[in-house]
Amino acid sequence: MAASFRRIGILTSGGDAPGMNAAIRAITRAAIDKGVEVMGIYKGYRGMIDNEMKLLTARDVSGIITRGGTVLFSDRCDEFKTEAGMQKAMDNLKKNKVDGIIAIGGDGTFRGATDLSDRGIPSVGIPGTIDNDIASTDYTIGYDTAMNTVIELVDKLRDTCESHARCSVVEVMGNHAGGLALQSAIACGASVVSVGEFEFDEEACMKKIAEEKANGKREFIVIVSEGNGDFAEQLAKRIRERVGVEARFARLAHVQRGGSPTLRDRLLASEFGTAAVDHLLAGESNIVMCYKNGKIVATDIDYAQTLDRMYKHKLTPEQLAAIPADRRAEMEKYCAERLAGLRELYDLTFRLAK
C-alpha cells in the first residue's frame, strides 16, 4: 500500500531517449498525488553511489515534458556491478530514506533494478531507448521520436539527391535491432534497406537501383541499420562503381537521440510513469512496464531479460535447457512472431520501392 512508502527514487540510465523527461514528470506527480515523496537520482546508478540526489516537487518537473534528453542526466557505471559499489548505493538509499526505485532505461538498467530488488529495495523498470530493442515490449520511450528525426533528415537528403542525381546510403541507429531502420525506410520511401536480422541481397540492391535509374529516377535512398562496421560506407562505394550513380554515405549518429519528443512518446512515457508508480506502491517489485497490444502491462524483469536474450540468440544451451518446456515453447513462439513482424516490414519496403 502507498502508506508503506515514504519516498521513492527515480533514475535514468544508459542511452538517453526523448520522452524520458515526460516519464520523470509523470512519476513525480503521480507519486506526490499519492502522498509519497520523490527523490531524483542524478547520473543513473553513478549518482546512487556518489549520493547525488535531490527531492523533487511538482514545480521541479513543470515544463520538462517538451524537452529531449533527461533532466536527471545519465551515465554508465561499472562500479555499480561490484559488491562494493552496490553497498555504497544501498547505504546512500537508506541515508536518504528511499524506499523504492523506478529506473528508466534499457536492459542494463533493468539488471541494476533487479540487483536492488534482491537487496530489499523494491524496483520497477520503464523501457526507455530509441532502439526499441527490448523484446518484451512493442514500443520503448524515444523510439517514435527517433524515427521522426530520421524521416526529417532523410527528407532533406532526398532534396539534394534529386538535385544532383545522387544516392544517399544512410546509417541509422538501432544497436543491432532493425526496427528503426525498417519503419524509417518505409516512411522515407527508401529504395533499399539493410538490417542485421535478415541477410542482405547486394545483387538485388544493385539491380533495383539500376532499374530505377533506367526509368528516369534521379534520387535514391538506402537505409542501413548500424552494427556491421563500415558496411554502409563501403556499400556506397560499390554502388558508385557498379551502378554508376554518385553515392554518398551519411551516418546520422546521435542526433537521433535528441529533440523534443513526439506526441506518442510523451503519451507513452506518461502512461508508463503513472503505471509504474501504481504498481510499485501496490507492493509489486522486480517488474518492467511493457506496452503490449495497445495496453500497459507489468512483466517480470527476469522473464523480460530472458526473453530478450532468447530473441537475440544470447542464451547458452544450458540456459535454454533450464527453462521449463511449456514456458520455453511460449517464449519461442513469441520471438518467432516478433521476427515475422519485422520480416513483413522488410518485404513491404521492397514492394513499395518502385
Catalytic status, residue 230: no
Provide the residue count of the chain: 354
Upper half-sphere CA count for residue 34 (Cβ side, 13 Å): 25
Shortest CA distance to 67 belongs to which of 25, 127, 11, 21? 21
For residue 104, list its beta bridge partners. Answer: 12, 126
Q: What is the DSSP string of 135-166?
A: TT-S--BTHHHHHHHHHHHHHHHHHHHHHHTE
Residue 60 φ/ψ, nearest 5 degrees: -60, -30
- What is the biggest distance separating any 2 CA atoms in the chain, rounded to whole angstroms? 71
C-alpha cell at 42: 542524478
Q: What is the DSSP string of 195-242?
A: -TTS---HHHHHHHHHHHHHTT---EEEEEES-STTHHHHHHHHHHHH
Burial of 289 per CB tally in 10 Å (0-12, 13-18, 19+)? buried
The C-alpha cell 507513452 sits at 268
The C-alpha cell 554502388 sits at 239
DSSP for residue 128: B
- Considering only CA atoms, give the Rg of the chain: 22
85 close to 77: Cβ distance less than 8 angstroms? yes
Spatial separation of the C-alpha atoms in residues 342 and 144, rounded to whole Å? 16
C-alpha cell at 283: 507492493
C-alpha cell at 46: 553513478
Q: Which of 16, 107, 131, 278 is catalytic?
A: 131
Q: Catalytic residue positions?
A: 131
